[in-house]
Structure 1
């Protein structure tokens, strides 16, 4: 039934590319627009997107996004969002602020749960409480603990954006966008500039909501197998309470320039990063006109792949081969705004090399547009795009949300919401033009880039004084504000601080919490979802197969046991993994190999996987080479596999040096964005072999190794090459190898003979190494310094070594701890962007972590008091919600390829069906006993646990001064 009295059916269309019937409605009373996508996907999706163009960089849209999820008319509790995180089976639950829009999407496989999520989100968006206290908590406020102390700024978004501005890569990306659009909303920072956030008033904040959070400014998407008629009933219950308005939310077009512009900004760096070192980065950026044609938009996205999409892409290769820098910046096509833009650049350049990089980019593009792009590169890029569109593999991200955002690229700006969802016609048009000999991509380069004067070149250079200067500016601003207050004003700030803290610490009334819709234990399935697996031997190799519907795609994984490698070779492993697919072979250079992969497969890659075994008997450690192809190209896929694992050019010194420089630069530029992972990895490394190896291969230790490796390549290349060759000789072979296939049974049967021939064509290989990896437990507390404005604080221990035996009930206790105590103390009261704890049940390693945290010692104190919180016990309502939340993570939605690989991981780690079912039953029967058992263990963590902090030198020195030098200081950047 497509008719509804409150909605006008504007259009109905079957969209074969996404296997959906699309119905596009307009709400008669308010003008709200609704896209209802009806299909058989059990992972149901709802999302409301609002145009929210900010006028300044105070972060009003971002702060509002946080704040509306802090209580609403129907659900008047402090954190309904967290209650849903705790007690829902959601497969997605979040909200996002973009440059010109704010989106509130949810997803769940459970119908009752889905409707619960939809109702809480609709009430939050249209009827939030957004009190002044919420504004202060999520946005910013003056904090003054007593009338004598200095005021400080606090606020979740304030500190989140301080963290974002601590990342040079993020700063460069933001400045690059802002530079192109000085006269529109894209010329301000919708996330908020920490220097501007304290200019935001509560009155403006409230007005922003009333202007833009309205059905008349809403674009709503439903997707999945739920009842299409009920979707409209749900919306009408909310929309009917509003009258139509004109939100005046359109984003104006930026007027074009007739000449390029130059921008120079600086980022905070340590003194060691300057003085002749290559620490600058640059982008060259072009603003395009608004694109409304689906064919043109698809072609421009493919052009990104052609130019920089792979290490062998011509513009990317030219930049890396130039030696001007160490790696690409976030280069590509940015199409999430009304006027998209291209951006290309390099990081790790000399301060005076910006113009050289600019000239190289323009010269390379000019050459490609005149002389032509290699047809094989174009064929590979088109095939890769087509494969991705047809496979529609969004990983753990729900397909419905991906389609929602794809539609918004047109719909938000008044164009056809369905056009971006259909790709057959635009793809065919592009392929037909190429077949007819048209210079499709050369013309795009000339038209949209080279002949486009609306260009900026943004240079970002390191400034060793910037952090101190910004800190001094903030302190001066606070002191000025405090000095402007009389005694009564200061007392009022102190009183306001105390009142906000009291509100944050106060619990919600039970009757209000009871309003949050939730499932019951009876709604939860008692048994785990099974993944089919068959085990056999094929030519002496263990073969695992998974009969699953994969729409004609074969997913193939080969694993090589890392127990073949001695510890002295392990640090080279990440480089070896990259070298397999990025150095070429003896018969083709890496450009030709990359083209071949793109032309005939859906992709080939390699990665490592490490885990403590479930029984605690050592570490499961594997290198995986993974790929996918349609059934008619499986032979091509196997041929590529053979070439990359047996014949990669490990003697390609120049290419390998480039990869090491890229990895080093990548770690440096992303450090501020992954600081919580870095400190968690570092603290756990002292307690278990698997964690120690992970840190050696991806943490601070590996970063230090990369810096040394650059000198090795320069001064003793034969030793580096010998190490890589030795890894191949020890690792690649039938001995210790496994194969994993995910496809339907017909494809598996057809593949088996080819797979047997592939296996027999490999060398036998070596046995396990007798040298071992050299792990010895060595916990220590450490302060890692970098020039950031916020901290990342971890504290951890091995609970098994402390005598604690984790169960499924432990996961429930940790869920409750994270969504109550940690959320309240670290985020809400502490002002950090995030705080959590996590336990590896196999290894026993446990760690608290915080993210973008203004505190250090205060956060450690919060961790140390967690046991007291758990000892107080948990009410039945919170217990049930936490059980539901943990079951939601156990029953997470997986696409077929992820199911097949997950099943393999279970096998290799010794995690049996019986063990997982026992864990599920322990989760479902969790009680206060589990909470108190964990509390006893956390008492010991408080007394004996180790601390690792990533923060500024000033913050770590202050902590050491106060706590007697308890942190060993290690300089990272």
Structure 2
């Protein structure tokens, strides 16, 4: 009897150990489902056991990071090395997700977007990698995603259906004999949009010269004028060469059953492949014997000024990514040489008056590049720029870098690496590991960041940084001095060249060729319009509603009082880190100071203070905090635009041991910043304007969206004055006329700070463990006692709305077309079923009409609880046609039919947008949002129940609301100058953003 009890007890212990260490059965050197375990080790940096396998039959490599994380990630990556600018890897990335052997629908990717619980679903192309990551917290859904993605990359329909390349890449389109041939294609238009950015053009031109002989010198995404040179034969040959499992790198992350994962991948896919004889290698670029110089141009609007619009850049090819110590050393140098507020190169260029902003970046690849770029300069500054950089670098080598500055930079790096504050940790580890996996056949080198970090820390005691500067920069001839200057009218020249190219092509067609092209065009359009059959859709695995929990996840704050100030505490395990937000109500400001609050957020923490120079302050913030910044945001109480709650937020994070120092520095920034240092303020405003100017050239959709909402909503008008076209005009005026307006600017900034930073105007919020709250509250109390104690008065902001319906012109090669309105202003109330409506309009109607048929990179809608509704397109070759598609939405809804299975798919996809992994700090922010907006658990529960019970008739029943919204006629378009002017009759006004 005693022996039996002992055996039972032993069995319990063994079961417990097996459950706690499920990977103990995997032994190095043994085979499991066709995979041999090559190496197994616990990696402290990822807090998980990591198992590296080789698939014996196919040659595939597989790494499992067995973390105790329900957000499981699967990724398969291929080393890809394009030989030209046709964008073949990028087009392939799109194309393989357009149907496969086991899932023969037009786009399994889009079907999954409609109806999967994925927490991440995407594919990405880099200079030497094409990668396919998917993540889910639902085990069944996770394996469904693995199945679809593996089939997509290994068994795509591209070999039997050339229309996939035509749709996703490019094609000639001719609809009638008297029509004109045009280029169409999703990637073609995506890259036209991408290369509307001068920064993207700069990087392209630099890499082309630095790497003339290997893959890093070509555009893996595709250069617009070169994409139409890609042939179907070269396209499928690319897949044959690079998409064999022997060239694949599979990453598994999370708590899924490893045995099941290996078995599935082997049985369903890899066991059908033999080893490939082709090995993908990327040769090293032979170094230059002397630095090269080049001058190129980028497209600017016809009326755009050219003064102070040139980019100057110095780039160096510096070592290889497999040398992790060198890579981390350069991470320090990007900050210490340039990006830090008192970095020597930043100060030298400011003193020389060269440009308005300077940044350094370090790009890791088989061969790394270190780049210093000045923007808003002039071509004639080139030689002074080069001399300033090299003389400063020589001084750095001779005199050394400030060790206190380096200490702060290292502290911030270490804090952020060890914190790992992202809910997508699998994706983070993918990015850390793939370079060393690709080029050293060892993913662990990339994951184990502690060792190279310790090497980088030696720079505090040695001249490591200085010798790296000497060896890799000063004495490195593999370098380039680039001048990229604006060329007004260049876009028109490119468009004309494309038009002539197409005209010559069309003139070379025989009548039979024209007939054939018309038939091909009709066939492609018919294919794009065709709906997948129920049989084809049934092949895509999906969950049932029974797999979806009806429970909500509620995030709560405990409202406490510290020093007579309300503090919102979200209790969560944060591993000893305090995530602090201070919320100041902006309604203490008169309406004319709203843009000054945004300006204030850009300069605070960068000014001299009573006790620190700006450089010393930057050092202190780096040494004692994990992050510090200020910004403006809004909440809508009761989800009503009438109840706008604008907040100025001061954010900081630190360990509990450094809480006192974090609040001491916060006090220094808020109460002791020196605004009347005109020289420093002028530098900061000039730099800030340059960044806003760059942003307005790169973020057309955001500016069009903000502008549209300013026509009819308080929150939109507020956003327009803090982040929109009006703010761009405001900050440009201040920058250009600073000398005349400096006294006014100083006075207004000081007044803004004085009105905001008042004790009774503040609410504190903290996310930390209950046991750490005391460390926070004691220091918060001291901080609060230093604030102005005057009683604040709130203003009632009055905004004048006007339906301007503007066309915003720029040098963009594509359009961003936005239309929308507020349904609450039309008498409608929010219902959770609107979430499903939005999912259907976005992923079915607009995805097909605007992206698939129209050729835009994206077409989507948004419906919010506050009442705001928008229809938007991204990198769109069209304008009027897209608005027509928006206007046809009511007809689509009137004819909408979906059976129970289709509705289930839409509902699951909607739930995926509502649920997702979150970090502790994100949960704390969500809890604060609920507090300010007065959201209740009952409200969230009702919303979820509404989503889960949505029917096809419910969707049809919202047709009238959508029609009413569209009938308001509110539109805003950001786009190509010629295209906007061609459609001038659609707008109330055409606005040139460069004027």
Q: Does TM-score exceed 0.5, indicating one fold?
A: yes
Per-residue deviation at 1:834?
Answer: 0.7
- Over 3 Å counting, the alpha-carbon distance change for 1:584 and 1:913 in structure 2 is farther
Do residues 945 (structure 1) and 969 (structure 2) align? yes
Q: Are 2:254 and 1:224 equivalent residues in the alignment?
A: yes
1:725 alignment partner in structure 2:
750
Q: Which of 228, 234, 239 is equivalent to 2:270?
A: 239
2:327 paired with 1:297: yes
Residues of 2 paired with 1:574 and 1:246: CA distance?
59
* Cα separation, 2, equivalents of 1:462 and 1:615: 45
For residues 164 and 815 of structure 1, the distance between their equivalents in structure 2, rounded to whole angstroms, comes to: 26
Aligned to 2:778: 753
User: In the TM superposition, what are the counterparts of 1:442-521 in structure 2 within 5 Å?
Assistant: 442-521=466-545
Could you say what secondary structure the match of 1:170 adopts? helix
Q: Indicate whether 1:619 and 2:644 are aligned.
A: yes
The question of 1:169 aligning with 2:192 is answered no
| Partners of 2:321 and 2:528 in 1: CA distance | 47
* Equivalent residue in structure 2 for 1:840, among 864, 874, 898: 864
Query: In the alignment, what sits opposite 1:267?
Result: 298
Tell me, yes or no, if the aligned pair for 1:345 and 1:357 is still in contact at 8 Å: no
1:900 is aligned to 924
Q: Distance in 1 between matches of 2:313 and 2:791?
A: 47
Note the 1:744-783 alignment, pairs <5 A.
744-770=769-795, 772-783=796-807
Q: CA deviation at 1:653?
A: 2.2
Query: In the aligned structure 2, how far is the partner of 1:446 from the partner of 1:745?
Result: 50
Considering only aligned residues, what root-mean-square deviation do their CA atoms show, in Å?
A: 1.5
Aligned to 1:558: 582
2:311 corresponds in structure 1 to 281
**Residue 860 (structure 1) aligns with:** 883
| CA separation of 1:520 and 1:292: change in aligned 2, threshold 3 A | same
Residue 5 of structure 2 is matched in structure 1 by none
CA distance in 1, matches of 2:576, 2:196: 45
- Classify the secondary structure of the residue corresponding to 1:867: helix
* Counterpart residue number, 1:338: 366
Distance across 2 between alignment mates of 1:879 and 1:629:
46
Q: Would the aligned equivalents of 2:459 and 2:465 in 1 still touch at CA under 8 Å?
A: no
Task: Find the aligned partners of 1:873 and 1:745 in 2 and give their Cα distance.
Answer: 51
Instruction: Return the offset for 1:271.
Output: 3.3
Q: 2:908 aligns with which of 884, 893, 900?
A: 884
CA distance in 2 between counterparts of 1:306 and 1:933 reads: 60
Paired residues of 1:816 and 1:879 also in contact (CA < 8 A): no
Counterpart CA distance in 2 for 1:808 and 1:652 is 52
Alignment partner of 1:174: what SS?
helix
For the Cα contact (< 8 Å) 1:140–1:158, is it kept in 2? yes
Residue segments in structure 2 that go unaligned for 5+ positions in a row: 1-24
Q: 1:428 is matched with which residue? A: 454
Q: 1:83 aligns with which of 93, 97, 111?
A: 111
- Is 1:971 paired with 2:992? yes
Distance 2:971 2:672 in 1: 44
Map of 1:38 onto structure 2? 66
Cα displacement (A) at 1:257: 0.9
Q: Is residue 187 from structure 1 mapped to residue 217 from structure 2 by the alignment? A: yes
Deviates more, 1:205-214 or 1:794-803: 794-803
Q: What is the alpha-carbon distance in structure 2 between the residues aligned to residue 785 and residue 233 of structure 1?
A: 55
1:320-339 alignment to 2 at 5 Å?
Answer: 320-328=350-358, 331-335=360-364, 337-339=365-367
**Are 1:144 and 2:174 an aligned pair?**
yes
Instruction: Tell me the residue number matched to 1:178.
Output: 208
In the other structure, the counterpart of 1:536 is 560
CA contact (8 A) 2:822 2:869 kept: yes
Structure 1 residue 179, shift from structure 2 partner: 2.1
Higher mean alpha-carbon deviation, 667-676 vs 751-760, is at 667-676
- Answer whether contact 1:142 1:154 (CA < 8 A) is retained: yes
Secondary structure of the 1:58 match is: coil
The 2-side partners of 1:86 and 1:664 are apart by 40
Q: Distance in 2 between matches of 1:967 and 1:793?
A: 15
Q: Check conservation: 2:319, 2:326, Cα contact below 8 A.
A: no
Q: Distance in 1 between matches of 2:832 and 2:516?
A: 48
Find the residue that maps to 1:801 and give its secondary structure.
Answer: helix
Q: Is the 8 A contact 2:815 2:875 kept in 1?
A: yes
Match of 1:406 among 411, 432, 436: 432
The aligned residue for residue 349 of structure 2 is: 319
Q: Tell me the equivalent position of 1:361.
A: 389
CA distance in 1, matches of 2:83, 2:509: 29
How far off its partner does 1:518 sit? 1.2
1:714 matched to 2:707? The reply is: no
Query: CA shift at 1:853, angstroms?
Result: 0.7
Q: Is the 8 A contact 1:273 1:279 kept in 2?
A: no
How far did 1:554 drift? 1.1
Alignment partner of 1:640: what SS? Answer: helix
Q: Which moved more, 1:927-936 or 1:189-198?
A: 927-936
Worse-superposed segment, 149-158 or 547-556: 547-556
Q: What secondary structure does 1:543 align onto? A: strand
Alignment partner of 2:407: what SS? helix
Tell me how far apart the structure 1 counterparts of residues 447 and 750 of structure 2 sit (CA, whole Å).
Answer: 47
Equivalent pair of 2:301/2:977 in contact (CA under 8 Å): no
Alpha-carbon offset, residue 672 of structure 1 = 4.4
Which stretch has the larger CA shift, 13-22 or 876-885?
A: 876-885
1:740 counterpart SS class: strand
Equivalence for 1:815: 839
Task: Output one character per residue of 1:565-585: Cα deviation in whole Å (capped at 9) or x when no partner.
Answer: 110101111110122211131
3-state SS of 1:860 partner = helix
Tell me the CA shift for residue 930 of structure 1: 3.4
The 2-side partners of 1:327 and 1:723 are apart by: 24
Match for residue 661 of structure 1 among 661, 686, 706: 686
**Match of residue 584, structure 1, among 603, 608, 612:** 608
What displacement does 1:712 show? 4.1
Q: 1:939, CA displacement in angstroms?
A: 1.3
Q: Does the CA-based 8 Å contact 1:797-1:946 persist in structure 2?
A: yes
Compute the displacement of 1:917 (Å): 1.8
Aligned residue in 2 for 1:248? 279
Where do residues 906-925 of structure 1 align in structure 2 (5 Å cutoff)? Answer: 906-925=930-949
- 1:872 is matched with which residue: 885, 895, 912? 895
Offset of 1:546 from its aligned partner? Answer: 1.4
Contact 1:68/1:124 (8 A) holds in 2 = yes
- How far does residue 766 in structure 1 lie from its aligned partner after superposition? 4.4
Secondary structure of 1:271's aligned partner: coil
Q: What is the 5 A alignment of 1:375-394?
A: 375-394=403-422
400-409 or 501-510: which moved more? 400-409
Q: Which of 739, 746, 750 is equivalent to 2:764?
A: 739
Alignment partner, residue 717 of structure 2: 692
- 1:203 counterpart residue number: 233
Indicate conservation of the 8 Å contact 1:250/1:413, yes or no: no
In 2 relative to 1, CA 318–870 (structure 1 residues): closer, same or farther, beyond 3 Å? farther
Aligned to 1:581, what secondary structure does the other structure show?
Answer: coil
In 2, the alpha carbon distance for the partners of 1:945 and 1:930 equals: 25
Contact 1:575 1:659 in 2 (8 A): no
> What is the aligned partner in structure 2 of residue 48 from structure 1?
76
1:799 is displaced (CA, Å) by 1.3
* CA-to-aligned-CA distance 1:886-910 (integer Å, 9 cap, x gap): 2112112110111111211221122
User: Judging changes above 3 Å, is the alpha-carbon distance between structure 1 residues 310 and 887 closer, same or farther for their aligned structure 2 residues?
Assistant: farther
1:8 paired residue number: 36
